[in-house]
Structure 1
């Protein structure tokens, strides 16, 4: 199935979620993520501000800030993303697309231990379908295979296979409300040690 068809089908399914389902599923997913050794050992984490029924991140943000971890969020600047440190969620304000964003000096996301990425759909090999603007693809391509890129998605957003394109950024780890998929060989080897 072409990306456009996958995108339309998954977004339609996501729109069917009630507000209470979004909260419940997001909470289950975030709690699963907070138990991962990758999160526990992380000193710096990049999160996103959810829109339109995306998996929530507030629980992770609160836990990270409470644990003294550095927390970054993206902001749209031109055709790219700038990642800025925040010390409280109240620092986030509506940005270019109405998405909550920080406003401050940019930080290199390569310095983060984990970069949590939203998306419309993902597959078992870590391929991602976003909204089609390419912001995350352009900003994070150089981090592919580093073990840092984490997808948050509902179970129904995790597809068996997506036809990827060379510019698409690939995830290392996928977290849903019911499971964790370790895609990247680097992470799998680290887990076995």
Structure 2
């Protein structure tokens, strides 16, 4: 299925879930992510502010602050994305596309300054490929040559499809996909190991 059709189909499905379903899925997915060794080792993490029933990140933010981690959030500047340090949700305001982002004060950070990125998306596949909203902000930003951060896609379980997403050469691949039901890890040569977490 073409990317545009996949995107439209999944956005409609995500918008149709109830607030209760969103809350429960968000809680489960975030708790899964907090078990990652890559998260535990990270001194600086990049999160996102959810939009249109994306999985929430507030629990991760609270845990990161409690653990003394530095937290960065994305902000859109023209056709590019930057990261800015936040010390609480009160640092966020409505920005580009109506999504919460850090206030335009302080230093802008590049992709090489985070140890772990929690990346939103509309559709993911088991190889770690991702479809976003079509603007390419994350793909351009994460191509920074100095980036060493682990990339973790965070989504509802229904956003993880069985087939392969049509991938372009500039698309950035996730190392780990975390949903409210399971985690998928990339292995060497694109082989995927699925870790079923539904019995947790």
Q: Do 2:122 and 2:132's aligned partners in 1 also have CA atoms closer than 8 Å? A: yes
Asked whether the 8 Å contact 1:171–1:184 carries over to 2, the reply is no
Supply the distance in 2 between the matched residues of 1:41 and 1:27 (Cα, whole angstroms): 21
The alpha carbon displacement at 1:109 in A equals 2.4
CA distance in 2, matches of 1:80, 1:173: 24
Name the Cα RMSD after superposition: 1.9
Pair 1:92–1:63, CA change in 2 (3 A): same
TM-score, normalised relative to structure 1: 0.91
Q: How does 1:47-126 map to 2 (within 5 A)?
A: 47-103=47-103, 104=105, 105-126=107-128
Task: Show the counterpart of 1:134.
Answer: 136
Dislocated runs of 4+, deviation >3 Å: 142-147
Name whichever structure is richer in helix by fraction: 1
How does the TM-score come out when normalised to structure 2?
Answer: 0.88
Deviations 1:20-45 (A, max 9, x none): 11111000000011111111111110
| Other-structure match for 2:10 | 10
Name the SS of the counterpart of 2:98 in structure 1. coil
Query: In the aligned structure 1, how far is the partner of 2:96 from the partner of 2:147?
Result: 30
Unpaired stretches in structure 1, ≥5 consecutive residues: 189-193
Aligned twin of 1:178: 181
Structure 2: which 5+ runs fail to align? 192-200
